[in-house]
Every structure is written in structure tokens, then in C-alpha cells.
A and B are shown apart, each in its own frame.
Chain A
């Protein structure tokens, strides 16, 4: 029988695909993973994850009311980036900072106006930040320097002088002029969603077939290895592409992320990424053959690396060399970089080519490994 069995029979393949598709549609847990989780994640990343503090809560400690101190306080209140709580009670402000309701304290000391008036003296303004939130603390430093500079300028102008800092630093953000963090976080979030669909859903569902013994039943028929792989890949590939379409629509039309790339390139690279995560999911389920283990492995091998090591929010450059080397093994890394570039910068061929190349390698590797392990089980 085996000698005249073709490598691939279109009729058998389509029958298998229909069976697989029906199985997906009928299973409530696949709907949960393919529709509910992506929408939930997009919603969380769209509204909940935001690195830009719109208004920083700071406390202003005025030890003595005087014109100079009040003047400085007014400048802080006028800043669109600051929301000050003004007080003369040091203990109260420290308690607020311990509780986390303010992220910094600006101390205008007792003799501030005397020091300001004395020639040759320096009048210190102390800025204390809450180091338990390092990112916010960095922003407080930056914004307070801005406020301080504005204040100096205003005072100079009040006296009819021209104040200009000697070196003015002018910053321009390319691709994202308002420096909105969500514009680079959402493309990253899409990567995570696709990883959940590709790796976790496939590994869970196929591990269940092994657990129930229906996989062995399939293997004992005339189905060839190629058909078996394809009938698992095609329906989940279509499902993944539909989820991708959903994500793109939400990202562009609801969350308002600009799109500057080509949809053709997106289609090709998404296909490659899906194939490598599907390959990973298949491999995990073939190796574990148990739903519970498969889910655990998929979580640790696909989901966590996609969040931690893909560079979607935590910069790869800032990691130590060993971890940076590990990130090259993670398909999500290439997809994050592709999406961020396509969304914000457009078709930048060098980056896209490199990503495509690495994704081809990982897709071939995972699917090839799955094919190898499947054959071993058949023998």
C-alpha cells in the first residue's frame, strides 16, 4: 500500500482540514483563545499600558512663604506635566510619597529668597524623587529641569532681560513626533497575541488529541506525514491570519496607531511568523503529548519570552550580553521589530530583510523538527 501512496492526496487533505476546522469552531476554548484573549489583550495594551505619565503627581514643600518660593510654585502648577500638592508639612509629604500618591517632592528651602538676592550665593531647590518607580523618577527629573528652565526664563523676562540658555537642546522624534509610547507598545502587543494563538492554542488542542488517543487513530490510517502536518497547519494558519486582521483593524481604526508600511510585506512576514509559532506549538504538543504539560511548556517557552525578551517594551540593547544572545533565538523578536518598523517607519528594507531571513530559518527549524519527531513515533 505504502509504495503507491502519493505524498499528498488533495482529497484526503481537504477532508482532514474540514474536520480540523469543525473541531476548532465547535470547541469553546478555542474561541476563548482566538477571539476573547486577543481583544482583552489589545484593550489592556491600548488603555492600560502607558509609559508616558500625562500628569505627574508631585509634592511641593514650601518651608517659608515668600514671593520667590510662590513664584516658583506657580511655574510648577502651570506646567501641563505636573500636578502639585503644595504643603508646608514635610512629614505629610513624606508619608504621601511612601504611600505612592506622589512621586516626588520639590523642596523650596527656608531662606530661598534671601539666597536668591545675595550676589554670588546659590539658592538650592531640592528635587526628591520616588526611586521605587525608576521610570517615573527619570521623567520627574526631566520635567523638573524643564520647569526650572522656564522659571528662569520668565524671571529674566520680568526684569526686562533676555534669558537664553547657552546651549539649547532641541529634540525631535522621528516616526512618532509626540513620543507616544502606545504607538510602539501596540505593535508589540500584536506579537504577543499572535504568539498566544500560534503556540498556546495549537499546543493545547493537539496535545488533547494525543491524550484522547485520536492522534494515534489518525496515524494508523493511510494519512501521510505531510498531510498530517498540513492539516494541522492550514486551519490554524487561517485562524491566526483572521486574528491578525482583527488586531490590525483594532490597532489602526480604534487605537489610532499610524500605519506607514506595505500590507503585502506584512502579509508575508506574518505568515512566516505564524508558521514558526505554529511549528513551535506543534513541536511542544508532540513532545509532551499531555495538555497540562504542553500548556506549561508553551507558557514558559513562548509566552514569557515574547513578553520579556522580544524588545516590545524592554529594550534588548539594555540587557546583558548573554540575554541579548538568547533573544536571537526568539521568533517574537523579529516580529516585534517588523511590526514597529512597518507601523511607524514604513518599508525599511534592511530591517525587514534580516527579520524575514531569521523567521524563515525558525519556521523551517520548528516544522522540520516536528516532522522528524512525528516520524519517529510512527515507526
Chain B
């Protein structure tokens, strides 16, 4: 029995790796995404242009301007001559934000009187603008602290900020672990659902069905090559992440691969289910697309799951990609132990069991 299974797995792997087209599909997206995504998919603010309209031109406003210009987030600082220039520069997106120093800014500060600083931000990029505004506020706060040094204060508390798991809040540290989840998703779904659809189109599925192999053996025969492909793809991303992007792997590799295999089974379940519903490759492709797009978009990769409305958060419970992106970050960056990761692992087990058995039932029904 196991010999039969072994020959089936070998046959699957051979037919998978023989065609150059399929080989390309399994490798190209991995490389493109690993090279492109960490640089492109970033919500960080760097290279932003800002503009400054200084009605004051005193010592303090000039000093602050210089500090803004030195900040790494801003590559270009434009100095405006009149208030009329503010509108076109924001409208035409020549600057993400405009800083306006009011008249007597330095004079008031010199006398120890409170004054204000106006920020005008482009709401078309409100997220970046907000982050840039945070940077500016930090610079202003530090400057204020320096001005106040030595003076008696009514409140001597101090806020100290530390970022754990990713000290510099580098977006690549967030993208690479998530990519492991994304890339294995594509690999597994394509291998399981498209290979069955192709066999059905070519009529070889019927040959498999009449062979002495049981349905579960055919399933295993499809699942094992998919797992192997996913493990190889994930290892490629992991190696590039650790050595090329220099993101330290904090957790346990054993636990990481163990959870990946469970994740693999939950996706195999979905892949088999899609292929049980489709009769042609084109339908299977559209099926994979229709499943994958929401699964990836609602996985927490583009925006955090906790920002969604509660009812939608509940729906994402059936989304395996969501659980595995959580797991990858927990193990890769946070060195989480099994009892923490378990909260995301058991939903994967439930998903794998239910989709797998649903696919099994549908296959049996189609044969009968």
C-alpha cells in the first residue's frame, strides 16, 4: 500500500517538475516577490518632500528648519516665499506637507511664551502624512526639551519609547515573514488544484480513479508534492531573509517548520475543494484567484486584522493565510513558544480537517 503511494508521489513530482512552464511558475513569483516586495510594499516614509513657509525667519525657526532637513525621512526641503505658494504645492503633490512658522515664532519662544506651528498635510496620502507628522512632532518635542532644560517644570515625567522585535521599525522585518506565508500559499494552491484540473481535462484523472489507489491515497499523492514545493519555497525566502536582508530569526526553526506543514494541509484542503468544484484549468485558475485575493488581502498583510470591523474579523477566522501570517511573525520575530502559537495552530487544524473531508466527500460523490 505504501509502495503504491510512494510511486504516485514520485509520478506527481516528476510531472510537476518536468514541464518548464510549471517550473517557471513555481520559481519566478518567489524570486520576483522576494526581491521586489520588501522594497516596494512599504508603509514607511522615506524620500518625502516637504515645504517650509517661514514667516518668522528668526533663530528658532531656522534651527528647526535645519533639524527637519536633516531627518532621514525627508529628502527634499523646499522653502516657500509666500502664502500663495502653499496651495499649489500641496495640490500638485510637490510636497507631502507644508510647515508654516507664524510671525514672531522665535520672539515668543525667546520670551518663554507658548507659540504654535502649523502643519498642512496632503489628505490624499493621509497615512504617510500622519507618519511624517509624527516624525516632525518628535523633532519639535526634542527641541522643546532642550529649550526647557534647566528651567523648573511642574511635571518631571518623561516618555521613553522602545520598539521590541524590530528596534528600528524597519518595514522589511514585517514584509519578509509575511512573504513566507504568501508565497507558500500560491505554490500549494497551484500545485493541488491546477494539477487535478489538468488531469481531469486530459482524462488522466479517470485513469487514476480506476487504479487500485483509494481516494485518500490520491489525496495524499497530491498533498505531499505540494508540501515539498511549499517547504522549498519557504526555505528560499527564509534563507534570503536571514542572510540577504539580515533579519535575525528569533524563534525555533523546528516549531516553524512544524506549523508550516499544518498550514500546508489546511491549504491543500482548500486546493482540493476548489479542484473538486471545477472541471477545467481555466475555472480552477479563476477559482484559485477568487479564493486567494480575499484571503491575502484580509490576512493582515496589507492592513492589520484588528482594524477591521468585528464581524469581518470573525469571518477571517476561516482564512488560513491570516493564521499563518500571525504565526510567521510570532516565531520569526517574537520567539513565541508553542502555547502562544497554538492559538493560531488549532484553527488551521480545524480548517484542514473540514476542507479535506468536504473535498473527499465531493470526490466520492462525483465518482459514484
Is B134 within 8 A of A156, CB to CB?
Answer: no
Q: Given A37, A142, A317, which contacts B49 in the complex, CB threshold below 8 Å?
A: A317
Q: Given A133, A145, A175, which contacts B304 in the complex, CB threshold below 8 Å?
A: A133
Q: Is B265 an interface residue (CB 8 A)?
A: no
Is A181 within 8 A of B127, CB to CB?
Answer: yes
How distant is the Cα of A115 from the Cα of B158 in the complex, in angstroms?
11
Contacts of A309 in B (CB 8 A): 40
Least CB distance from B67 to A in Å reads 12
Contact with A along B159-195 (1 / 0, CB 8 A): 1111111110111011001000000000000000000
* Contact segment of A2-10, A267-275, A290-298: A290-298
Q: Is A220 an interface residue (CB 8 A)?
A: no
Interface size on A, residues (CB 8 A): 107
Q: Is B5 an interface residue (CB 8 A)?
A: no
How distant is the Cα of A52 from the Cα of B42 in the complex, in angstroms?
16
Is B298 within 8 A of A48, CB to CB?
Answer: yes
Contacts of A128 in B (CB 8 A): 162-164
Contact A167 B144, CB 8 Å, known A134-B173, A317-B96 = yes
Interface size on B, residues (CB 8 A): 103
| CB-contacts of A74-107 with B (<8 A) | 95, 97-100, 103
Please, which residue of chain B has its CB at the minimum distance from the CB of A41? B293
Q: Is B45 an interface residue (CB 8 A)?
A: yes
Q: Given A52, A125, A159, A165, which contacts B157 in the complex, CB threshold below 8 Å?
A: A125
Known A-B contacts: A98-B336, A167-B140, A314-B41. Give 4 more (CB < 8 A).
A44-B294, A142-B134, A176-B124, A350-B92
Contacts of A131 in B (CB 8 A): 163-167, 169, 173, 333
How distant is the Cα of A341 from the Cα of B136 in the complex, in angstroms?
25
Q: Which A positions have Cβ atoms within 8 angstroms of B?
A: 29, 32-33, 36-37, 40-41, 44-45, 47-54, 57, 72, 95, 97-100, 103, 115-116, 118-139, 141-142, 144-145, 148, 152, 155-156, 159, 161, 163-177, 179-181, 183-184, 204, 208, 291-293, 295-296, 299-300, 304, 308-309, 313-315, 317-320, 323, 337, 340-341, 344-345, 348, 350-351
Q: How many A-B contacts are there with CB distance less than 8 Å?
A: 315
Contacts of B45 in A (CB 8 A): 315, 317-318
Q: Is B107 an interface residue (CB 8 A)?
A: no
- CB-CB nearest 10 A-B residue pairs: A176-B123, A131-B166, A179-B126, A175-B123, A173-B123, A131-B163, A171-B119, A134-B169, A50-B307, A164-B114
Q: Is B48 an interface residue (CB 8 A)?
A: yes
How distant is the Cα of A172 from the Cα of B122 in the complex, in angstroms?
9
Contact A171 B123, CB 8 Å, known A47-B309, A148-B157 = no
Contact A142 B157, CB 8 Å, known A126-B162, A131-B163 = no
Contact A172 B96, CB 8 Å, known A100-B330, A313-B302 = no
Q: Given B28, B49, B93, which contacts A351 in the complex, CB threshold below 8 Å?
A: B93
Q: Given B42, B96, B109, which contacts A167 in the complex, CB threshold below 8 Å?
A: B109
How distant is the Cα of A184 from the Cα of B125 in the complex, in angstroms?
7
Q: Is B115 an interface residue (CB 8 A)?
A: yes
Please, which residue of chain B has its CB at the minimum distance from the CB of A54? B307
Q: Is B281 an interface residue (CB 8 A)?
A: yes
* Contact segment of B148-156, B228-236, B351-359: B148-156
Q: Is B54 an interface residue (CB 8 A)?
A: no
Least CB distance from B130 to A in Å reads 6
How distant is the Cα of A299 from the Cα of B136 in the complex, in angstroms?
39
Least CB distance from B343 to A in Å reads 6
How distant is the Cα of A176 from the Cα of B28 in the complex, in angstroms?
40
Contacts of A204 in B (CB 8 A): 282
Is A319 within 8 A of B122, CB to CB?
Answer: no
Is B340 within 8 A of A156, CB to CB?
Answer: no
